[in-house]
Structure 1
Amino acid sequence: MSPSSLRRRPPRIFALLLALTAGLSGCAVKRTVAPQTFMVPMSDGVKLATDVYLPPKVKPPYPTILVRTPYGKGVGKDLAGNLCPLGYAVVAQDLRGRFDSQGKPAIIFGNDGLGGHQDGHDTIRWVAQQSWSDGKLATWGGSALGIVQNMAAPDAPPALKGEVVIMAFSDFYHQAAYQGGVWRKELLEGWLKSQKLEDVNLPTFLDHPTYDAFWKELSAVARADKVNAPGVYIGGWYDIFLQGTINSFVTIQERGGPQARGHCFLVIGPIGHGALDPKIDYPRATQGPINLMAPMDLLAYWLKGEPDGVANLKPVNYYVMGDFEDKSAPGNFWRSADAWPPPAEVTPFYLHADHTLSRDRPAEDSKLTYRYDPQNPVPTLGGQNLFLAKGPVDQRPVESRPDVLVFTTEPLPEPVEVTGRLIAKLYVSSDCPDTDFTAKLCDVYPDGKSMLVTDGIRRASLRNSFEKPERLKPGEVYQVDVDLWSTSLIFNKGHRIRVAVSSSNAPRFEPNPNTGDPHPSPGRTRVATNTLFLSDKYPSQILLPLYNSTEGAGGKASGKPAVP
């Protein structure tokens, strides 16, 4: 089957992408292909259970798609049903210590290329040496199946020709475990317990609250120069690993080996790690490159030398979100670009004591104070979650709390597009030795609902370095930068831009006990009096990347929609 015929079926391929992202299968397949199961030896003698699916009615040798998973190698069945008829062999493998594979329980993702073993590298070599293999393979998968790809990519054997990495981190500490230096409680504890991996992993992760040698060994992005296979990195604006997807693309595109550098692709859509809750139907969301037309064409190019499907494919393809209620509003289209981030004017929007948000720098010395009680944290409402409701959820139920400071612009006279990385620069003090600060960016609709766009958090003691905590001194003012990761959204005319500042977002993040300890202890917490400074000397602000287009925020000129 040719790539052109495959393009006529984006809905099924998109379903396949989402199924693999969740570590599940459930989409229709072209045909059933029976596997052969092998126990593949690793360098230390441990054998990993591996299913091999070979194309029916096609003579070998074949290019291969490799999937390595902690969810059970049965996930390869549906993938093989779709890809084997196209002439690909499919290999699906249980990770070390999982399901039918040998090996003792170990740190998850620590044996795939970085860390104690190089199981990913050993498996790539094994595949390339088989009589049915043509010596070329690409890796595939989402979430955990994408993470193992990132971990195996540095110094991978030359048989690896490409990667399809869907919603995956490339730096365990910053992008998954301790975002902003704060333990991602809901994500890590929820996932580890759901996979019965908490006994070994959870105590170890909690024992390493700073970016130390343990975490540095599990950072693939720090070894981007050792990656010599191109990849397509697919993510979502509300995905738990959004910034990991973007950082993987940017670092390898700019610093990768000669076969990877300048040959990678990025696709970001209006999706989360699973369905948005409540459900929002963004127009044309599945009609752009995220429906997997581009990845399938890239596989054909990397493994079969068929360039037709990628000749006009731009390196960066992302969905510009907009007002999801007004179909005539600007936004809600796909845009293609040559690089990330796109051209933007990074503009400070200042927080004022009267709770307004504007481009005017504060002229008077002002400050606002609130009390943060870790026993009564601000509850999580939407955002980049796994088990909790995810996506752009209305924040009004928490914005009325006394420990949440809200700053809002006047209604916008014209649409404003924000596309790129966002940072909140907060000038703060606390009467406790440590505390956290959060920042949220919201799109306020004319009817008053305050829809979350993106948010972030930062541990105050890690304001200067994630490696070495520095305790706070009462009465001293500190700059704390909160990374809100990235987004692309057009605030419609008549809407307002809102920033909310607080010190907790639980259970997404573990509440800071305010004691100086990295994690809460039973009966050992303090209530913090935290102050946000709003003055010419201490101008708390959010830096918004305003999209730089010659024809405004409507997606014209260099921002031409990828889909009409």
Structure 2
Amino acid sequence: MVSQQIIRSLACVLALSLGWPAGASQLVKTLPSETPEKFTPSVEGFDYTKREVMVPMRDGVKLKTFILIPKRVTKDAKAPIIMTRTPYNAGGRVTRFNSPRLLAAVPQMNDTTVDAGYIVVYQDVRGKFGSEGDYVMTRPLRGPVNPTRVDHATDTFDTIDWLVKNVPESNGRVGAMGGSYEGYTTLMATVNPHPALKVVVPFAPMIDGWMGDDWFHNGAFRQGAALEFIYGQQSTRSGAFKFWWGEYDIYDTFLRAGSAGALAKARGLDQLGFWRAISEHPSYDAWWQEQAVDKLLAQLPIKVPMMIVGGLFDQEDIYGSPALYKALAPKDPTGQLVHLVMGPWNHGQGRREGRALGALEFNGDTAGWFRSKVMQPFLDHYLKDAPKPSTPRVLVYETGADEWRQYDHWPRSCAVACVEKSRSMYLLSGGRLGFEAPAGGYDEYVSDPAKPVPYRPRPNLPMSAPDSGWGEWLVDDQRHAGTRTDVLVYQTEPLTEPMRVAGQPIARLFASTSGTDSDWVVKIIDVWPDEVPSKPSMGGYQQMLSADIFRGRYRASPSNPQPLTANEALHYEIPLPQVNHTFQPGHRIMVQIQSSWFPLYDRNPQTFVPNIMFAKPENYVKATQRIWRAPGKSSQIDLPVLRTR
């Protein structure tokens, strides 16, 4: 062992050789820090200034707020404010790239507002990241579910009030914009709105989490996305903890866990308030109904002009945008205040680039065109006194034809130059699909919970995995499912002329099960020709167009689940996501029916239990499923067909 004397001698020699002053040979415990106590970045070359403030709310809680002001905006050359309130880290939102250019620093959603010289504001909602207070998932409005004196509506009111009084560069007008959860907070701004709030643009807002947005679809729990999202949102204020899987293919993870509740417990979600709440409310009871945004806003006067933006292939909130428009349009008979735009987009794509989705390619950057040519003139009119644009009441992209279409109403209403007619396509013998009524019979398959139908080709990856392709699954090729024995397939002959559909398809099934509960999944598919010379990879592609799931126990009432009568043909009416599409000549129309969509949705045990979230292994049983195609029991798909005059 080296003695301390030798160490001191070596230190002395080292000190002398380096020319250190006398006494430096004594060992020191620390060196002076080379990091200053406070560092001030040099931003002289930036084209904007950034202010970080804590904005006080009426209950004393302060919310972290970032205000980005273009340098061309001054107290003499004022500008409007465009605001987004987020649970996803406002600080990260305004440093998308560490750039001296505001256009690069903020999300792409803000590209046209930056070009227009707007002041950009991002704020952490209460309880998240830099904001004080308690966090509640999509905090409900004050009322039966929220007995406090604050909600997103009051927080937005207080924030706007502070901004117009404390940002001298503002022209006193504010717009709110955001997508998904941020779309929800955008809509909350319209409840008792501040007088300075002049316009809102909610992208893909969360509207009704039970009927068809993030958490459930018609009673089936969206476990594959919900558990991961809830964990990330509520485990910490900063989102520091990430849901862990432990394997590449989460199909196996969910299958081994059993129920959604079992996996949630294994990952510690029973510590989180929102998981406990939704697992205690698997049915559409008052807790859900009192939070449904479309129902809430339908009871209030429309005071703020609104452009509702949605995606035809939104894998997370496909229900919300059209449901909100349907609720509000009757309150605006002239179509001056409420507008709807539906693009060929997945969740969030309307805020980014919209040239393609999966294997599909569109006519240019549909999202960029929309923001520049439709959204920005709409904002400028209300925030900068620009001329009133000729904003369509409803603007929907027509897939298959790759054109934007204007409509006077939506859905199941027609544009000026066409006639709408709902046509029923019947499920027929021999896997045929046609307009003639069926002669009789049924088709059957065995649904085995031990081998559920995957919602996309395996491996099934977590939605947050870098290579998951989560945003593309609603346009996936469905050949992987159609070859299974537990999936029924019906299709037409190749079309000889175009068929244009616009609105909401409705599946009307007569179905029976040998069990006492069952899920029914219905998919409408555009089957491409066997050969596509211009793009060979699309040969025979089975492009999913509209699809959804329905949990049988809610057949009679979404709020009062009942067991199904075994082996009895029961009628189901299943509304499917809305479409605006042309089936081209040479293409076929296909319908697929199955009883699981795993692991995106939790498995139905096919035995009636009070709460499927906590079904036991012994509850999961095989069931024989029958789809009937007999007179008086004809299963059909009602399509909103449009014909030109």
2:174 to 132, 137, 140: 137
- Deviation, structure 1 residue 369: 1.9
Say which of 278, 294, 319 aligns to 2:374.
294
SS in structure 2 at match of 1:493 = coil
Match of 1:521 among 596, 599, 615: 615
Partner of 2:48, secondary structure, is coil
Of 345, 365, 381, 1:271 maps to 345
Taking structure 1 as reference, are residues 321 and 119 closer, same or farther at Cα in structure 2, changes over 3 Å only?
A: closer
Give the aligned residue type for 1:126: T
How do 1:165-564 residues align onto structure 2 when only pairs under 5 Å count? 165-176=202-213, 177-197=215-235, 199-225=272-298, 226=300, 227-239=302-314, 240-255=316-331, 262-273=336-347, 278-286=358-366, 289-308=369-388, 310=389, 312-322=390-400, 331-341=401-411, 342-343=413-414, 344-364=420-440, 366-381=441-456, 388=470, 389-447=472-530, 448-517=540-609, 518-523=612-617, 524-550=619-645
- Indicate the SS of the match to 1:507: coil
Deviations 1:406-428 (A, max 9, x none): 11111111111121101101111
Paired residue type of 1:269: G
1:99-114 equivalence runs, <5 A? 99-110=129-140
Choose from 158, 163, 168 the match for 1:125. 158
Q: Is the 8 A contact 1:444 1:498 kept in 2?
A: yes
Distance 2:429 2:365 in 1: 39
Give the residue type in structure 2 aligned to 1:212. D
Aligned partners of 1:405 and 1:359: how far apart in 2? 18
Indicate the residue corresponding to 1:20 in structure 2. Answer: none
Matches of 1:112 and 1:160, distance apart in 2? 20
Residue 158 of structure 1 aligns to a residue whose secondary structure is: coil
Q: Decide which of 64, 67, 86 is 1:49's aligned counterpart.
A: 64
In structure 1, distance between residues paired with 2:60 and 2:50: 23
Could you tell me how far apart the structure 2 residues matched to 1:193 and 1:112 are?
25
- Give the partner amino acid of 1:48: L
**Is residue 183–residue 509 contact of structure 1 (8 Å, CA) maintained in 2?**
yes
| Equivalent in the alignment of 1:557 | none
CA distance in 2, matches of 1:213, 1:402: 40
Question: Structure 1: how far apart are the matches of 2:221 and 2:552?
Answer: 13
Task: Evaluate the alpha carbon distance shift between residue 228 and residue 274 of structure 1 in structure 2; reply closer, same or farther with a 3 A threshold.
Answer: closer
Paired position in structure 2 for 1:327: none
Partner of 2:194: 157
1:522 shift after superposition: 4.2
**1:340-372: per-residue Cα shift (whole Å, max 9, x none)?**
2242211110001321111111123x1122211
Deviates further, 343-352 or 44-53: 44-53
Distance 2:46 2:342 in 1: 30
Cα 1:549–1:332 shift into 2, 3 Å: same
- Comparing 281-290 with 433-442, which one deviates more in the overlay? 281-290
- DSSP 3-state at the match of 1:150: helix
**Contact (CA 8 Å) 1:42, 1:119: kept in 2 or not?**
no
C-alpha RMSD of matched pairs (Å) = 2.7
Assess, with a 3 A threshold, how the Cα gap between structure 1 residues 83 and 398 changes in structure 2: closer, same or farther.
Answer: closer
* Same amino acid, percent of matched pairs: 29
How far apart, in 1, do the equivalents of 2:72 and 2:541 lie? 58
Aligned equivalents of 1:360 and 1:371: distance in 2?
Answer: 27
Equivalent-residue separation in structure 2 for 1:352 and 1:127 (angstroms): 59
Work out whether residues 138 and 181 of structure 2, in 8 Å CA contact, stay in contact via their aligned partners in 1.
Answer: no
Contact 1:369-1:532 at 8 Å conserved across structures: yes
Which residue of the partner structure matches residue 352 of structure 2? Answer: none
Q: State the shift of 1:84 in Å.
A: 5.8
CA–CA distance in structure 1, aligned partners of residues 503 and 368 of structure 2: 19
* 8 Å Cα contact 2:394/2:410 also seen in 1: yes
Q: Whole-Å Cα distance in 1 between the matches of residues 603 and 286 of structure 2?
A: 25
Question: Is the Cα–Cα contact under 8 Å of residues 431 and 530 in structure 1 kept in the other structure?
Answer: yes
What secondary structure is seen at the aligned counterpart in 2 of 1:174?
coil
Distance 1:278 1:299, change over 3 A: closer
Per-residue CA deviations over 1:164-217 (Å, capped at 9, x if unaligned) read: 111222222213222111111223223223445552222221221111122123
Rounded to whole Å, the distance in 1 between the matches of 2:446 and 2:586 is: 33
What secondary structure, in the 3-state scheme, does the structure 2 residue paired with 1:192 have? helix
Note if contact 1:56-1:84 (Cα within 8 Å) is conserved in structure 2: no
SS at match of 1:186: helix
Q: Answer whether contact 1:186 1:508 (CA < 8 A) is retained.
A: yes
Structure 1: gaps spanning 5 or more residues: 1-29, 323-330, 551-564
Distance 1:333 1:409 in 2: 25
- One-letter amino acid matched to 1:358: G
Shift of 1:134: 4.3
Q: Please state how far the C-alpha of 1:81 moved relative to its aligned partner.
A: 8.3
- Note if contact 2:139-2:152 (Cα within 8 Å) is conserved in structure 1: no
Q: Write the letter of the residue equivalent to 2:607.
A: T
Measure the CA separation in 1 of the matches of 2:69 and 2:282: 45
In structure 2, C-alpha distance between the alignment counterparts of 1:119 and 1:361, rounded to whole Å: 52
Amino acid at match of 2:636: Q
Aligned-partner Cα distance in 1 for 2:362–2:115:
33
Q: Is the 8 A contact 1:42 1:123 kept in 2?
A: no
Take 2:373 and 2:225, find their aligned partners in 1: how far apart are those partners? 30
Residue 67 in structure 1 maps to residue 110 in structure 2? no
What secondary structure, in the 3-state scheme, does the structure 2 residue paired with 1:390 have? helix
Secondary structure at the aligned position of 1:191 is classed as helix
Is the Cα contact below 8 Å between 2:438 and 2:631 reproduced in 1?
yes
Contact preservation (8 Å) 1:46, 1:102 = yes
Unaligned runs of 5+ in 2: 1-44, 96-104, 236-268, 350-355, 415-419, 465-469, 531-539
Distance 1:57 1:492 in 2: 50
> What is the CA distance between 1:375 and its match in structure 2?
2.1
Is the deviation greater in 292-301 or in 416-425?
292-301
Shift of 1:155: 3.1
Tell me the TM-score normalized by structure 1.
0.83
Instruction: Give me the whole-angstrom Cα distance separating, in 1, the residues matched to 2:376 and 2:485.
Output: 51
Distance 2:496 2:558 in 1: 41
Counterpart contact for 1:137–1:160, Cα < 8 Å: yes
* Counterpart AA for 2:642: Y
**1-structure distance, mates of 2:613, 2:381:** 49
C-alpha deviations, 1:242-300, integer Å up to 9, x for none?
231122223223226x9x96422222111212677634222235278524431111111
CA displacement, residues 488-545 of structure 1 (integer Å, 9 cap, x when unaligned): 1111111111111111111221111112233253413122222211111101000111
- State how far apart, in whole Å, the 2-side matches of 1:141 and 1:478 are: 42
Partner of 2:50 in structure 1?
35
| CA–CA distance in structure 2, aligned partners of residues 346 and 72 of structure 1 | 46
2: CA distance between counterparts of 1:111 and 1:487? Answer: 32
